[in-house]
Amino acid sequence: MQEFETILLEKADNIATITFNRPNAANGINPTLAREFAEAALICDKDKSIRCVVLTANGKLFCAGGDLKAVGGEPEKAATKIKGMADDLHRATSTLARMEKPFIIAVNGMAAGAGFSIAITGDFVLAGESAKFTMAYTAAGLSPDGSSTYYLPRLIGMRKAMDLMITNRRLTAAEAETWGLINQVVPDESLKEEALKLAQKLANGPTDAYAITKKLLLCSFDNSLETQMELEGRAISERAGSANGKEGVLAFIEKRKPKFT
């Protein structure tokens, strides 16, 4: 697949893996990484042979957030540079959230600042036992980005979101799981293996059904009960008439494993 400077993008068995690859810089987000992340996200979205996407990082840290050294050398240009980085990061986040295939994040080590923001955007989030999470933005006199003010209140409620963002409380992987920020804690040494195992399971499933499920969940906070139920009714009717829907129902009746396409 396409080669990048700050990330790796690999594809195997209908699974794409995006890997942050600035281990000597704590996988900090600089303008290049933000731009390349957005480009990789778009490739994953548009490539119809990809049925699941995994995001992880090389090195001991998942992502220490924005690389302030990359933007702080020229204070008068910092605001413009940070806005550009945020725009690219947000483009990547939106693309991965809206794409019609499952998105898995495997968090190895520290996820701080934008690293924390990115870590919680997955449809499924696995973390190694040594992973830690902290917002860190206000410690540098900054405010959150990377969609964290959208996802955190929805995942854990306003009180806990405010706590994390204002106090910069550091959570262990186990605490993040208890709080509802991630799905599962796994041993560090088997993190990528477990993420790929899940990815393969999902890639072999009815990805069109996963896609509409994601769409329904993403709009649920904005719709009334009746609107949401109407969308559900239309969606399940459409799925029932689809090839995968017909196969799934028939396999259930015949008591066999379905073969989804």
Average pLDDT for the chain: 95
Q: Report pLDDT digits (tens) over 83-108.
A: 999 999 999 999 999 999 999 999 99
- pLDDT at residue 37 above 80? yes
Q: Which one has a higher pLDDT value, 46 or 79?
A: 46
- pLDDT at residue 72 above 70? no
- pLDDT at residue 1 above 80? no
Q: Report pLDDT digits (tens) over 159-216.
A: 999 999 999 999 999 999 999 999 999 999 999 999 999 999 999 999 999 999 999 9
- Going through 94-246 in order, the beta strands assigned E by DSSP cover 103-107, 110-112, 124-128, 132-134, 171-172, 184-186
Supply φ then ψ for residue 28, to 5 degrees: -65, 145
Residue 6: predicted pLDDT: 97
Cβ atoms within 10 Å of 145's Cβ, excluding its own: 21
Residue 199: predicted pLDDT: 98
Rounded average pLDDT over 1-27? 95
- pLDDT at residue 54 above 80? yes
- pLDDT at residue 68 above 90? no
Terminal Cα-to-Cα distance of the chain (whole angstroms): 23
Residue 78: predicted pLDDT: 81
Residue 119 host element (H or E): helix 114-119
The pLDDT confidence band at residue 73, using thresholds 50, 70 and 90, is low
Q: How far is CA 135 from CA 8, 84, 153, 226, in A?
A: 25, 20, 14, 36
Q: Is 3 helix (H, G, I), strand (E, B) or coil?
A: coil
- pLDDT at residue 41 above 70? yes
The candidate with the shortest Cα–Cα distance to 171, out of 158, 156, 192, is 156
The pLDDT confidence band at residue 219, using thresholds 50, 70 and 90, is very high
What's the whole-model pTM score? 0.94
Residue 71: predicted pLDDT: 74
Distance CA 191, CA 195 (A): 6
Rounded average pLDDT over 18-33? 96
